[in-house]
Amino acid sequence: MCWVALDRGIRLATERGRPAPVGRWQRERDAVYRQIMDRGWSPERRAFRQHYATDVLDSSLLRMAAVGFITPADPMWTSTLSAMDAELVTDSLVYRYDPAASPDGLPGTEGTFSLCSFAYVNALARAGRLDKARVTFEKMLTYANHVGLYSEEIGLTGEQLGNFPQAFTDLALIDAAISLDRELDLHPRSTTQRRSPALS
């Protein structure tokens, strides 16, 4: 997020004509980028990592392409997304990270995170994996309650856990729907890439 803060600060200052040390911000942004690409990438895992001292995956990485840090088609990004598929995703539900691989000190187990699941849909759509994005989106819709609201987490048997309702999840749902709709419009639809009824 340091890269995002600097990048957006540069854009705001440039587009709005505000006085700011834009040259310095550009140098700092580029230094952050280089450090993440050098130290945040695990050649062994072929994926970006939770932090520099580990090879653990983290679903916060799902924001990388959405914020413009990396392009959705970059092989480093698609490889990271595939690693997440294998380790953090169960059906359409996404865990924040693997607590066994990265102990957080909290007692008990945690469910999958609704916000992360919609961020996953967004990442899949941007990466051109439209079939999987659409199916995942439609499955996630089945976890809402009778008025379409989501809790923070979803348990393995589909029960809603944690904060309820959670506005962050609603925002992630909207963002995923917009992203999926846009990508479906931009690419020719095959028989398996028809628009979801939920997006019509």
Q: CA–CA separation, 5 vs 32, rounded Å?
A: 11
Instruction: Find the mean pLDDT for residues 143-158.
Output: 87
43 is written with which tokens? 């050649």
Per-residue model confidence as pLDDT tens digits over 10-68: 999 998 888 889 899 999 999 999 999 999 999 998 999 988 888 889 999 999 998 98
Per-residue model confidence as pLDDT tens digits over 70-93: 999 999 999 999 999 999 998 889
pLDDT-derived band of residue 104, with 50, 70 and 90 as boundaries?
low
What is the overall mean pLDDT for the chain?
86
DSSP string, 142-175: TTS-TTS---SEE-TTS-EESSSS-HHHHHHHHH
Question: How far does Cα 26 stand from its chain's mean position?
Answer: 25
pLDDT at 190 over 70: no
pLDDT-derived band of residue 101, with 50, 70 and 90 as boundaries?
low
pLDDT-derived band of residue 103, with 50, 70 and 90 as boundaries?
low
* Alpha carbon separation from 173 to 71, 77, 192 (Å, rounded): 21, 22, 22
> What one-character DSSP code corresponds to residue 97?
B
Q: What is residue 35's predicted lDDT score, i.e. its pLDDT?
A: 93
Question: Tokens 């945690």 label which residue?
Answer: 110
Q: CA–CA separation, 11 vs 46, rounded Å?
A: 31
3-class DSSP state of 93: strand
Q: What is residue 191's predicted lDDT score, i.e. its pLDDT?
A: 36
What percent of the chain clears pLDDT 90, i.e. is strictly above it? 50
CB burial of 25-37 (b: ≥16 within 10 Å; e: otherwise) equals beebbeebbeebe
Q: Which amino acid is at 151?
A: S
